[in-house]
Amino acid sequence: MKRTIPPERLAAMAVVAEATKHEHVLVACRSRAVRRQYVRAVLKAGGKLDNLFFYTLGNEEAQDG
């Protein structure tokens, strides 16, 4: 079974890819798979990977307990 990317994420990736052409962009995500999707979207749209930064969200509940 092939997983599909939700339409909301596809829209966000298009905006991020376009923005990286001119400015720095920070993307917060929980998984490496999502990170790879953003990287591929930026490359496909001709954006700049040097302007793309990631913040990995952890499991805050596990950290508090």
pLDDT tens-digit series, residues 6-38: 999 999 999 999 999 999 999 999 999 999 999
In a domain, residue 64? The reply is no
In a domain, residue 23? The reply is yes
pLDDT in tens, 55-64: 999 865 544 4
Write down how long the chain is.
Answer: 65
Nearest to 12 by CA among 30, 37, 31: 37
Confidence of residue 49 (pLDDT cuts 50, 70, 90): very high
Contacts 24+ apart (CB under 8 A), 40-43: 41/13, 41/14, 41/16, 41/17, 42/13, 42/16, 42/17
This prediction's pTM: 0.81
In a domain, residue 38? The reply is yes
In a domain, residue 63? The reply is no
pLDDT at 3: 79
Mean pLDDT, residues 44-64: 83
Q: Where are the alpha helices (DSSP H) in the chain?
A: 7-19, 32-45, 60-64
